[in-house]
Amino acid sequence: MTDEPQGPADTRRPAFGAGRVLIVVYGVFAIAATARAGYQLIAKGGEAPLAYGLSAFSAVVYVVATVALAHNGRRLRVVGWVTVLFELVGVLTVGVLSLTHPEMFAADSVWSGFGQGYGYIPLVLPFLGLAWLWWSSPRRLSQVRS
Amino acid sequence: MDLVTGGGYAAMAACGLLALWAGIWALRDRAVILKQLIAGGVVLVLLLVQAVGAIIELAGGRELAEPPVFWGYVIVAVLLLPAAAVVAIAERTRWSSVTLVVIALAVLVMELRILQLWSMGQGAA
């Protein structure tokens, strides 16, 4: 007969598993987007303020999303939902607009052509982020366990 | 071949081998081991040697096509492997190996861009 420990005996943080890879990819992309957009905005911001300003703003949102996903706390999970959804809406909106109104986004922004200039990573990441947020939800996990 | 190009090729080869090694580890359901972190440290040393080589060459009057972009790539490439090490310590599952694969391949691709930018400067000079 084995005695299962009752109650919160194990206080170690659980392994994130596959989510950890997602967080790292988010982080790398956030740094890359911030560096590129920051450089574009400073070096040639006057040429296309909308495209480069949008890129810089979305880069900051990617950084916040990375922090929120990595922290995984109750409040920051809400921030995670908001920022990842914002990225999804952004990439879809700007992706469609850059096809129907190409003159609005003459210069490449991070979301132009559904993230074409960034290997479509901006299009894929929000879906993975939402999937991870749903999968790792404490409410869902506790229901699955019980 | 200068220190930047040579160091770059060496770093790319080492990154490829490290990605392969970590990939085998991920398939075998094993977490990153210390030897792999040491190998990552070797790649990091190669990257730093490359950066020092670039500083020496530039001080010697070499032209660089887009200095901010070049140094942006160099700095981010240097920061990536320590991030993989943090994950390797925090996440003792196969997913730390997957992370190491992703990071090693990312450094490899960035190294390609670094060498591209470096040779562009040579053409302009």
Residue type, A103: E
Q: pLDDT value at position B125?
A: 44
**A9-66: pLDDT as tens digits:** 666 566 688 899 999 999 999 999 999 888 888 888 778 888 888 889 999 999 999 9
Q: pLDDT value at position A108?
A: 75
Q: In chain A, which residues have their Cβ closer than 8 Å to the Cβ of B80?
A: 28
Asked if A20 lies within 8 A of B87 by C-beta distance, the reply is yes
User: Taking CA atoms, what residue in A is nearest to B107?
Assistant: A28
Q: In chain A, which residues have their Cβ closer than 8 Å to the Cβ of B98?
A: 18, 21
Q: pLDDT value at position B66?
A: 87
Q: Token digits for A47? A: 């040429």
Q: Is the pLDDT of residue A143 over 90?
A: no
How many structural domains is chain B composed of? 1
Q: What is the mean pLDDT of residues B77-95?
A: 93
Per-chain mean pLDDT for chain A: 86
Q: What is the mean pLDDT of residues A86-98?
A: 93
State how far the alpha carbon of A15 is from the alpha carbons of A84, B38, B46, in Å: 22, 23, 32
Q: pLDDT value at position A9?
A: 65
Residue type, B103: I
Looking at per-residue pLDDT, the higher value among B65 and B28 belongs to B28
Asked if B91 lies within 8 A of A20 by C-beta distance, the reply is yes
Q: pLDDT value at position B41?
A: 97
| Percent of residues, chain A, with pLDDT higher than 70 | 89
The ipTM of this complex is 0.87
Residue A142's SS3 state is helix
Q: In chain A, which residues have their Cβ closer than 8 Å to the Cβ of B105?
A: none
DSSP codes joined into one string, B75-86: HHHHHHHHHHHH
Q: What is the mean pLDDT of residues B55-77?
A: 92
Asked if B95 lies within 8 A of A17 by C-beta distance, the reply is yes
Prediction pTM value: 0.88
Task: Give the pLDDT band of residue B114 (cuts 50, 70, 90).
Answer: very high
Q: Is the pLDDT of residue B122 over 80?
A: no
Angle made by CA atoms B112, A125, A25, in degrees to the nearest 5: 50
Asked if A28 lies within 8 A of B80 by C-beta distance, the reply is yes
Q: In chain A, which residues have their Cβ closer than 8 Å to the Cβ of B99?
A: 20-21, 24
| Percent of residues, chain B, with pLDDT higher than 90 | 83
- Chain A contact present for B79, CB below 8 A: yes
Q: Is the pLDDT of residue B116 over 90?
A: yes
Mean pLDDT is lowest, of A48-57, A79-88, B19-28, B99-108, for A48-57
What is the DSSP secondary structure assignment for residue B31, as one 8-state letter? -
Residue A59's SS3 state is helix
Task: Give the pLDDT band of residue A105 (cuts 50, 70, 90).
Answer: confident
Residue B34's SS3 state is helix
Of the candidates B85, B88, B86, B98, the one whose C-alpha atom is nearest the C-alpha of residue B27 is B98
Nearest-Cα distance to chain A for B15, in Å, is 17
| Mutation site, B99, B107, B117, interface A, largest A CB count within 10 A | B99
- Chain B contact present for A43, CB below 8 A: yes
Cα distance between residue B14 and residue B109, in whole Å: 13
User: Taking CA atoms, what residue in B is nearest to A14?
Assistant: B91
Per-chain mean pLDDT for chain B: 93
Cα distance between residue A45 and residue A87, in whole Å: 22
User: Taking CA atoms, what residue in A is nearest to B101?
Assistant: A21
Domain span at B17: 3-124
Cα distance between residue A96 and residue A57, in whole Å: 19
Q: pLDDT value at position A2?
A: 53
Q: pLDDT value at position B124?
A: 47
Q: In chain A, which residues have their Cβ closer than 8 Å to the Cβ of B95?
A: 15-18, 20-21
**B11-64: pLDDT as tens digits:** 999 999 999 999 999 999 999 999 999 999 999 999 999 999 999 999 998 988
Q: Token digits for A67? A: 């922090």
Nearest to B102 among A24, A32, A36 (CB): A24
